[in-house]
Amino acid sequence: MNKQAKIYIAGHRGMVGSAIHRKLQAEGYTNFILRTSAEIDLRDQQQVAAFFTATKPDYVFLAAAKVGGIVANNTYRADFLYENLQIQNNVIHNAYLNGVKKLMFLGSSCIYPKMAPQPLKEDYLLTGLLEPTNEPYAIAKIAGIKMCDAYRAQYGCNFISVMPTNMYGYNDNYHPQNSHVLPAMIRRFHEAKEQNLPTVTIWGTGTPLREFLFADDLAEACYYLMQNYDEAGLVNIGSGTEITIKDLALLIKKVTGYEGDIDFDTSKPDGTPRKLMDVSKLAEKGWRYATELEEGINLAYQDFLVHHVER
């Protein structure tokens, strides 16, 4: 990507999109095409078509999506399937129609079968049943991967797909019901500390293993792959390391300074027992994450205190 290229980041205000924007700015890119969801509804076919026709971006990072945690995914099943399909269908198709040089589609690690062997290799896609609670979101993301591959095969489009692991960082979503596990814990432990609550309750047994990656590390990987990867299929992006939900809770307890106890509500679901990405494909390309989990949680917590705590 030359420094004068027109770059459209779909979802530039979200955690991932904003991290990609920061990375590109740091690399000297200035010619961004940015629109908020109030300015363009990516679910609207006509709006997206008019936008692409008018702006003609050279490169597209498709980081816009309807996202949420286990409760949101399971509650709004139709919304997660319909809205994500609409967003990616409109952006990918109009990127093709308007001669975009390269598009990166960002998916999610939930695309892999629930009981797939661990760690999760890229070729495990579509080899088994999905985790039921987030199946609609996963199906939408799988469709996005296959759509990029189909446009590559039929039209010669340089559309690539990357699958990030669980993300956290600046501009995360800390909504009480609709956030992912790590930011949800940051909020819960912070509020428990402020209110002097004796215990914090965590869903499930605490035994599931999860992998986390700081969003700015993901942005580094996305930039690297946009320069160095031009193939069908997908690339996992993760740390290749994992932690139990219990140990994650203890780490966040430490970072936030909460001094009470942790209680595990075993009547609530655990979700997938283990979800670790095999990142050897990315490692072979020459990339590795930089931000260790405790350092990243500290950075995320400071961002939470600035933007989500009333003073």
Residues serving a catalytic function are 137
Residue 180 annotated in ligand binding: yes
Confirm whether residue 311 is marked as ligand binding: no
**CA angle (15, 20, 23) in 5-degree steps:** 125
For the stretch 282-310, what's the b/e string if a residue is b when 16 or more beta carbons lie within 10 angstroms of its beta carbon?
beeeebebebebeebbebbbebbeeeeee
Q: Per the annotation, does 109 bind a ligand?
A: yes
The residues pairing with 175 across neighbouring beta strands, listed in sequence order, are: none
CA distance 267 to 57: 49
The answer on whether 265 is annotated among ligand-binding residues is no
22 annotated as ligand-binding: no
Is 115 labeled as ligand-binding? Answer: no
Is 108 annotated as contributing to ligand binding? Answer: yes
147 is in an annotated binding site: no
- Residue 12 labeled ligand binder: yes
Q: Is 279 annotated as a binding residue?
A: no
User: Helices (DSSP H) in the chain: which residue ranges?
Assistant: 15-26, 45-55, 70-75, 77-97, 135-155, 181-194, 215-228, 245-256, 280-284, 293-308
Q: Which residues touch 98 (CB under 8 Å, ≥6 apart)?
A: 52, 53, 56, 57
Question: What crossing angle do the helices spanning 245-256 and 293-308 adopt, rounded to 10°?
Answer: 60
Does the annotation place 203 within a ligand binding site? yes
Q: Are 203 and 188 in contact (CB under 8 A)?
A: no
187 in Cβ contact with 174 (< 8 Å): yes
Question: Does 16 belong to an annotated binding site?
Answer: yes
d(CA 150, CA 123): 17
Is 141 assigned to a binding site?
Answer: yes
How far, in Å, CA of 24 to CA of 235, rounded?
20
Instruction: Give the span between the Cα atoms of 7 and 1, in whole angstroms.
Output: 9
Known binding residues for substrate are: 188, 203, 210, 270
Known binding residues are: 11-17, 106-109, 141, 180, 188, 203, 210, 270
Known binding residues for NADP(+) are: 11-17, 106-109, 141, 180
